[in-house]
Amino acid sequence: MQTGPENLTGVWQGLYTYPAGGASVSFVATLIESGHTLSGATHEPRTHGTGLGETIYATLLGTRSGSAISFVKTYERSAGPGYGRVDYEGTLNGGRTEIEGRWNIPGAGSGKFLLIRSTGKAATTKQKKSIRV
């Protein structure tokens, strides 16, 4: 599997926005790209129902064709009523650091989303040499 900036595999910080009132929810997505297939998982705070603020999880499955990204987010059953399937379609920017687009819950509504690739600091190690006298 190819990794690096050409490949989308990695951790992405996300934000999706509801159309009514513009409320936004942050989430973390771990993407795995293999060929043209995307898979992965997300976690985010519960925003409705009982247990507000608890962490809920979903799986991702989709495709990438050039800069076009498409995936389905399916919440785990434990997320409860109101959490099911969400379709995402977006566009990858030229630097391959952001995916922006729209989410859609079939028959229920849609809104905008943004994913930004997390970047970690490269670890450096200094080696000390001991000199014996």
Residue 49 lies in a domain: yes
Residue 33 lies in a domain: yes
What is the chain's pLDDT, residue by residue, as a tens digit (133 residues)?
A: 444 558 999 999 999 998 877 789 999 999 999 999 999 999 999 988 888 999 999 999 999 999 999 999 999 998 888 889 999 999 999 999 999 999 999 888 899 999 999 875 433 334 444 444 4
Token digits of residue 74 = 């399916």
The pLDDT of residue 12 is: 97
Residue 79 lies in a domain: yes
C-alpha pair distances (Å), 41 with each of 10, 27, 100, 116, 133: 11, 10, 18, 15, 56
Residue 42 lies in a domain: yes
What range defines the domain where residue 30 resides? 12-117
CB 115 within 8 A of CB 103: no
Return the CATH number at 23.
Answer: 2.40.128.120
Domains identified in the chain, total number: 1
